[in-house]
């Protein structure tokens, strides 16, 4: 079944329910707490968040500035979300390590992925990498994943398979859809899934009926984000224009089916916000701005004990630092 027929499959069961709740008290979302959890490096940015083995793990890049040859990937951990300690620091002498993302594999290990911007001259510009750990402290050697100059920006596991929408980094700017059974060896599912307007970072969300949503950033020409929709085996994609510029985006499905997006928005200045996503109409509805500004965004999202936990980075207090917000969301009607 082609992706363009998705409305007949899931709109009534999932999207319609979610859309009905979008107007349910969107002004009632409340920030319970925001705290700075790390600022040790001159520049601390590009986060992700996960809960594993009754602990929190937050990962991000440390460096002297936003782009610098000394980028390293820091892993910090906490039992309560308040007190954080460093668990590990991954470094490379070959280039700038960037955009740490963390997930749990089907065999219950932590998988950290990122990319290295290689010191030039080199054969390639970028190479995506992955590391694995049983405890978040001791990590494997880096595994080379995907093709050279294809940035596997965020890996998402679904039904024991890892999926990623990667973007080309040398100028052609298209996205390629990959899958993997072990998180190390990736095969191409779709060679060129989208190529208009300079696509780059992509976050995937799999719904209960196996529909895959892809939230895609664009930076050229008409720089509006795109929403991609595909059904198994994910070889055909339908794309819809969101009509708004986004950056560093991530999305999560709540237990009641509503979909929350955390992203950088630009109205009134760059800031990190939460928004409802209506997939049927490809609309983002901002409902809560997090304390942020300047260099910011790249959130991690976890739903835990009835609250949305959001890691992100921002320079609104001067130094680019890592923040953690706990947000209470409104109930549905």
SS3 sequence of 86-116: EEEEECCCCEEEEEEEEEECCCCCEEEEEEE
Is 52 within 8 Å of 104 (Cβ atoms)? yes
Comparing 296 with 221, the larger pLDDT belongs to: 296
Residue whose C-alpha is closest to residue 88's, from 50, 127, 126, 60 = 60
Q: What is the pLDDT of residue 317?
A: 97
Separation between Cα atoms, residue 166 and residue 118, nearest integer Å: 17
Residue pLDDT, tens place only, 266-278: 999 999 999 999 9
Confidence of residue 10 (pLDDT cuts 50, 70, 90): very low
Q: What is the pLDDT of residue 164?
A: 98
Give how far Cα 211 sits from Cα of 28, 79, 177, Å: 30, 34, 15
Q: What is the pLDDT of residue 25?
A: 42
Confidence of residue 57 (pLDDT cuts 50, 70, 90): very high
Position of tokens 């925001």?
A: 34
Residue pLDDT, tens place only, 208-220: 999 999 999 999 9
Instruction: Taking the CA atoms of 318, 320, 326 and 331 in sequence, report the sign of the dihedral they define.
Output: positive
The residue-averaged pLDDT of 72-78 equals 98
User: In the predicted model, is pLDDT for residue 2 greater than 70?
Assistant: no
Of 8-12, 24-28, 31-35, 305-309, the least confident: 8-12
Position of tokens 């209506």?
A: 278
Contacts of 12 (CB under 8 A, 6+ apart): none
Q: What is the pLDDT of residue 26?
A: 47
Q: What is the pLDDT of residue 27?
A: 56
Separation between Cα atoms, residue 141 and residue 91, nearest integer Å: 11
Of 78-82, 118-122, 170-174, the least confident: 170-174
Residue whose C-alpha is closest to residue 102's, from 88, 113, 115 = 113
User: In the predicted model, is pLDDT for residue 84 greater than 50?
Assistant: yes
Residue pLDDT, tens place only, 232-267: 999 999 999 999 999 999 999 999 999 999 999 999
Residue whose C-alpha is closest to residue 129's, from 107, 100, 167, 106 = 100
Residue 291's Cβ-side half-sphere holds a number of Cα atoms within 13 Å equal to 18
Q: What is the pLDDT of residue 162?
A: 98
CA 105 from centre of chain: 16
User: In the predicted model, is pLDDT for residue 19 greater than 80?
Assistant: no
Q: What is the pLDDT of residue 221?
A: 85
CATH number of 3-328: 2.120.10.10
Q: What is the pLDDT of residue 6?
A: 47
Residue pLDDT, tens place only, 274-295: 999 999 999 999 999 999 999 9
Q: What is the pLDDT of residue 5?
A: 42
Residue pLDDT, tens place only, 180-190: 999 999 999 99
The two tokens of residue 230 are 């595909």
The two tokens of residue 133 are 């750990």
Residue pLDDT, tens place only, 150-163: 999 999 999 999 99
Name the DSSP letter for residue 15. I
Confidence of residue 23 (pLDDT cuts 50, 70, 90): very low
Position of tokens 């707490």?
A: 33
User: In the predicted model, is pLDDT for residue 18 greater than 60?
Assistant: no
Confidence of residue 110 (pLDDT cuts 50, 70, 90): very high
Separation between Cα atoms, residue 241 and residue 235, nearest integer Å: 20
Q: What is the pLDDT of residue 295?
A: 98
Q: What is the pLDDT of residue 222?
A: 85
């Amino acid at each position: 079944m082609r992706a363009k027929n998705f409305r007949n499959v899931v709109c009534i069961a999932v999207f319609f329910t979610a859309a009905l709740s979008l107007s349910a008290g969107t002004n009632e979302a409340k920030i319970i707490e925001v705290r700075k959890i790390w600022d040790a490096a001159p520049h601390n940015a590009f986060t992700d968040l996960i809960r594993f083995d009754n602990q929190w793990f937050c990962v991000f890049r440390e460096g002297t500035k936003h782009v610098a040859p000394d980028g390293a990937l820091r892993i910090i951990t906490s039992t309560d979300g308040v007190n954080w300690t460093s668990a590990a620091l991954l470094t490379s002498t070959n280039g700038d390590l960037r955009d740490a993302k963390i997930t749990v594999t089907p065999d219950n290990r932590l998988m950290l992925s990122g990319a290295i911007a290689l010191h030039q001259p080199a054969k390639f510009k970028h190479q995506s990498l992955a590391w694995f750990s049983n405890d978040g402290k001791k990590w494997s050697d880096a595994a080379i994943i995907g093709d050279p100059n294809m940035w596997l920006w965020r890996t998402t596991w679904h039904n024991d398979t890892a999926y990623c929408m990667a973007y080309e980094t040398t100028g052609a700017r298209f996205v390629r859809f990959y899958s993997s059974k072990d998180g190390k060896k990736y095969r191409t599912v779709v060679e060129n899934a989208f190529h208009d307007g300079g696509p780059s970072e992509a976050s995937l969300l799999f719904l209960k009926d196996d529909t895959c949503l892809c939230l895609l950033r664009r930076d050229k020409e008409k720089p509006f984000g795109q929403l991609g929709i595909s059904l198994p085996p994910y070889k055909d994609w339908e794309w819809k224009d969101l009509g708004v510029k986004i950056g560093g985006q991530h999305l999560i499905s709540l237990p009641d089916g509503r979909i929350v997006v955390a992203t950088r928005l630009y109205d009134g200045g760059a800031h990190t916000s939460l928004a409802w996503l209506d997939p049927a109409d490809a609309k983002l509805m901002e409902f809560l701005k997090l304390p942020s500004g300047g260099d910011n965004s790249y959130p991690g999202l976890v739903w835990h004990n009835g609250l949305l936990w959001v890691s992100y980075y921002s320079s609104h207090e001067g130094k680019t630092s890592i923040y953690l917000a706990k947000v209470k969301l409104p109930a549905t009607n």
